[in-house]
A and B are shown apart, each in its own frame.
Chain A
Amino acid sequence: MRKKNWYLTLGLVLTVLSVGYSALGLFWTPYSSTAMSGPDRYALPSLAHPFGCDHMGRDVFSRTLEGASATLTIALAVVVIGFVAGLVIGALCGYYGGVADAVIMRLCDAVAAFPSVLLGLVILAITGPGKYNVIAALGILFIPSFARLTRGEFLKYRDRDFVKAARLMKVSPLRIIFRHILPNTWPVLLSGLTIGFNNAVLAEASMSYLGIGVGPGDTSLGRMISEAQSYFTTAPWLVLFPALVTILLILGAGMLGEGIRERLGER
């Protein structure tokens, strides 16, 4: 009898909730996320403004919707860049090995030796803040971890019999890499993907929080938390809701990753 996979269930529910919430923000917000209103400054949560209003009378609910979608978009873009590039680099390095592999892996070590947020700060200090710069900077920084993960998996399968057999049958190397080996690595890669997604959400939030990510005028969860901390004692709901949404996003993806690993690992 199979044990119930609670991680997967809960992770799926949370992810659907938080991603649905973020996706909603792409299309609809009850108010404009930047509309200001004098009388509503510091309004407490109410029916009209379920999450209250901030120091400029902007609706916090609308802002978390839009902020979550901005954070989610950035995180997804970062993970896609890092994952695709990391996969290709890691697969080739792992399969072929040799000098190129050694050089590229040492480069990855060098990048991974720095905390990614710190390195991201340096890149953004040069390029200037902004959504696309954040995506580019974080995307590049996420390549090494995915590359190493993929390479490790490929090393594991490179000398297996089924690969040797394929080689003897003169199957093209690319086909071996992507059709024969890759499917076997999914359990590890997928859970790596969700962890990467979590890290991307956190990295974006930290950078915006430190004032170097998404610029003023744009909304993101990190930026909202950063702005709200000045009002922490006087209007705590300003920081509460964006923080809760961030937690929801991270928790969901984290559990989902754990669940996927458990499920696919059983096979």
Chain B
Amino acid sequence: MPSKFKRALLLLAVVAMLPASLYGCTGGTDPSQSPTASAQSGESSDHGNSVTVGIAQDLDSLDPHKAVAAGSTEVLFNIFEGLVKASSDGGVREAVASDYQVSEDGLTYTFTLREGVTFHNGDPVTVEDVVYSLERCAGSENDGTPLISAFSNVTGIEAPDDTHVVITLAEPSLEFIYSLTAGIIPAGSGDGIAQNPVGTGPFAFVSYTPQDSLVMEKNENYWGEPAHLDQVTFRIITNSDTLVMSLQSGSLDMAIHVPNTQASQVEGQFTVVEDTMKLVQALYLNNAVEPFDDVRVRQALCYAIDVQQIIDFVCDGAGVPVGSTIYPAFTKYYMEELTQAYPYDVEKAKQLLSDAGYPDGFTMDITVPGNYAQHVQTGEVIAEQLKAVGITANIVQVEWETWLSQVYQDRDYQSTVCGVSASDMTAREMLIRYVSDYQNNFINFNDAEYDQAVTDGITTLDEAEQETLYKRAETILSEQAASVWLQDLCDLTVMSPDLDGLILYRTYVLDMSTIYYK
């Protein structure tokens, strides 16, 4: 009887773990505490209409124009709003602006301010605030480098009267509107906005303790559909096992981006909502350093890595393969055929490696952010797969903050496993990353034809032409094997069965305003 056998083993393991647990202190939560007790207590009213959400990473900034990590923007979505904001279908809806018009040449955007929108501090939103915020995005408060890259296209931001704001562009752009989800903040806030985040969203900021939590409360004067919850606490728990223990002990009502393994442990006690992460997980290669400056080596890696095995091992088969930098949620641009560009083929990989002058392989480092179990495990699987072609891969585990500064900003790495997403939900954002002179081109990709295709694609007003150009760019990334494209991870949200109302967005957004207790 395997089940009896299993139970006996479990018992033995419990006994064996006793001494182990003595030296492996894990934060003091008691996993044996009954999870059902917390579920039942939720039914009575002692939840105080507040929810605690577990998130896996600390916020890199509370400044809506400076936060770059997807894990930050999805939280800040609840506090800040732009002239427009993301809608769940992947488009935008009006927010601080009630209406907007685009001129026929695509160069002039005229926004009408919504009446009665106030900041969390009670001040009404005026055109000065809007102009100030947009100019700040365009770089008015630093050396002129736009805080949000799309604003480099902006030539003028004006307020002709008290209710209208006119934005003029240098070149037409179909996707510029998505950049206007950038948060509107009070005029003159400056960098102080990071300490005192005042926005117009359905939730108002209460407090932030670095590496611990962010608390926000319902904005009673919200212009739109008000939030159901009175208070939301985001608790930062970087260890996914601790996350599960916190869920089971009742200190969390909800957790986002929970890895499969951990989610399977709370199945039944919690509602598990499945989605894709809307990011591209890849083995990103630094195209500027040896040996990855040689396209043959990069292609060899693509052949040597079995993506399906990674999906099976790390995600229990639930991820979606991706063959370039566009993930499937961009239905218009996603090219499924590119996932077949480099079928798993060890012989071909070896051939390419010896052509490139590495017949015996080489040693490489894979830097992984330690707080993401999936990226770490993916690194382990890749390291094992690469052995077959003679490549020795050392996994270097770093903290998230170290990863951001060392890999993403300083580009001081050989290869890394991570996920890359579009902060403003445009295909443009995903593609422009690899334009040779782009500031966040952290893989140092350099291809003139690619630069041309992306630049042309961004400026064209013809949607069909844009699609062709974007797809051309995607294909170049695949042909050049800019990185080893892996998958869009499956994304699991775990929440208490008493909660409902979760709306899945097609971008990195966690909209807490629609969530309520049943």
Contacts and interface: CB of A to CB of B under 8 A. Distances in A.
B2 interface: yes
Contacts of B381: 36, 56
A242 to B, nearest CB: 9
A254 to B, nearest CB: 12
A230 B6 CA distance: 16
Contacts of A222: 24
A226 B9 contact: no
B9 A237 contact: yes
Contacts of A217: 379-380, 383, 393-395
Nearest to B393: A217
A172 interface: no
Interface stretch (B13-21, B135-143, B184-192): B13-21
A236 interface: yes
Contact of A236 (B6, B262, B265): B6
B347 to A, nearest CB: 20
A171 interface: no
Given A41-B313, A215-B395, A232 B13 contact: yes
Contact of A206 (B24, B239, B380): B24
B313 A38 contact: yes
Interface in B468-489: none
A128 B387 CA distance: 25
Nearest to B11: A236
Nearest to A130: B396
A209 B16 contact: no
A184 B17 CA distance: 40
Contact of A239 (B17, B244, B264): B17
Interface in A222-236: 222, 225-226, 229-234, 236
Contacts of A246: 19-20
B312 interface: yes
A205 to B, nearest CB: 7
Nearest to B238: A211
B368 interface: yes
Contacts of A234: 264-265
A244 B14 CA distance: 11
24 contacts: A36-B381, A128-B398, A129-B397, A211-B239, A215-B397, A216-B379, A216-B395, A216-B397, A217-B380, A217-B383, A225-B24, A230-B261, A231-B261, A233-B265, A236-B6, A236-B9, A237-B9, A237-B13, A239-B16, A240-B13, A240-B16, A243-B16, A246-B19, A247-B19
Contacts of B383: 34, 217
Contacts of A229: 241
Interface in A20-52: 34-36, 38, 41, 44-45
Contacts of A129: 397
B313 to A, nearest CB: 5
Interface in B335-386: 368, 370, 373, 376-377, 379-381, 383-384
Given A231-B261, A233-B10, A211 B370 contact: yes
B446 to A, nearest CB: 30
A36 B395 contact: no
A129 B207 CA distance: 33
A36 B24 contact: no
What 6 A-B pairs come out closest when comparing CB atoms? A236-B13, A243-B16, A240-B13, A236-B10, A217-B395, A206-B23
Interface of B: 2, 5-6, 9-10, 12-14, 16-17, 19-20, 23-24, 239-241, 244, 261-262, 264-265, 309, 312-313, 368, 370, 373, 376-377, 379-381, 383-384, 387, 393-398
A239 B241 CA distance: 14
A247 B16 CA distance: 8
B12 A211 contact: no
B24 A209 contact: yes
Contact of B23 (A44, A205, A244): A205
Contact of B20 (A34, A237, A243): A243
B261 A236 contact: no
A246 B397 CA distance: 24
A210 interface: yes
B380 A216 contact: yes
A267 B439 CA distance: 75
A138 interface: no
A55 interface: yes
Contacts of A70: none
Interface in A41-91: 41, 44-45, 55-57
Contacts of B309: 36, 38
Contacts of B244: 230
Given A230-B261, A236-B10, A237-B13, A225 B397 contact: no
Contacts of A202: 23
A14 to B, nearest CB: 15
Interface in A127-186: 128-129
Given A44-B5, A206-B23, A217-B395, A240 B12 contact: yes
A244 B2 contact: no
A38 B397 contact: no
Contacts of B24: 205-206, 209-210, 222, 225-226
A215 B396 contact: yes
B61 to A, nearest CB: 23
Contacts of A36: 309, 313, 381, 384
Given A36-B381, A215-B396, A247-B19, 9 more contacts: A44-B2, A216-B377, A216-B379, A216-B395, A230-B262, A230-B265, A237-B13, A239-B20, A244-B16
